[in-house]
């Protein structure tokens, strides 16, 4: 694992965040979709774009097809569930300010997603495996 890899993963994450906000704005303001639906569609768009960028640019994985995309989707949805769980714990159980909960999410979710993607989604088979 290198700093270059972490840097690239971070860049893809920032681009994904910007794309999600842009899609949300366009779908709500121009297409007049409900914000929840718009955000959900934005999540799917970002999932596909970030998968492609992470596979080709960040991890430079040779695997293609549905299997790595399915793994990436599992990791992303797990990250979403971790986000929901941490926010619930912070806000509803510990009665912390939501901004503190979001700070916890911003640290925990990208780290867990990176580790799962590094060790599972884009793991290249080594000789002898």
State pLDDT tens for residues 50-67. 999 999 999 999 878 899
Q: How far is CA 8 from CA 29, 60, 127, in A?
A: 31, 11, 26
State pLDDT tens for residues 22-55. 999 899 999 998 888 888 888 999 999 999 999 9
pLDDT of residue 127: 47
Average pLDDT, the chain: 89
Rounded Cα distance between 79 and 84, Å, is: 9
End-to-end Cα distance, the chain: 20
3-state helix, strand, coil in the chain (%, to 5): 80, 0, 20
Query: pTM, whole model, 2 decimals?
Result: 0.81
Q: 51-86: buried (b, 16+ CB within 10 Å) or exposed (e) per residue?
A: bebbbeebbeeeeeeeebbebbbebbeebeeebeeb
| Structural contact between residues 112 and 98, judged by C-beta atoms closer than 8 angstroms | no
pLDDT band at 129 (very low <50, low <70, confident <90, very high): very low
């Amino acid at each position: 694992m290198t700093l270059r890899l972490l840097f690239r993963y971070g860049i893809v994450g920032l681009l994904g965040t910007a794309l999600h906000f842009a899609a949300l704005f366009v779908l709500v303001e121009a297409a007049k979709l409900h914000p929840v639906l718009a955000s959900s569609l934005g999540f799917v768009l970002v999932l596909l774009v970030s998968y492609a960028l992470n596979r080709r640019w960040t991890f430079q994985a040779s695997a293609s097809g549905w299997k790595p995309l399915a793994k990436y989707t599992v990791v992303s949805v797990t990250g979403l569930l971790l986000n929901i769980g941490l926010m619930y714990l912070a806000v509803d159980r510990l009665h912390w300010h939501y901004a503190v909960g979001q700070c916890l999410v911003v640290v925990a979710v990208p780290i867990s997603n990176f580790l799962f993607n590094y060790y599972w989604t884009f793991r290249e088979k080594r000789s002898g495996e």
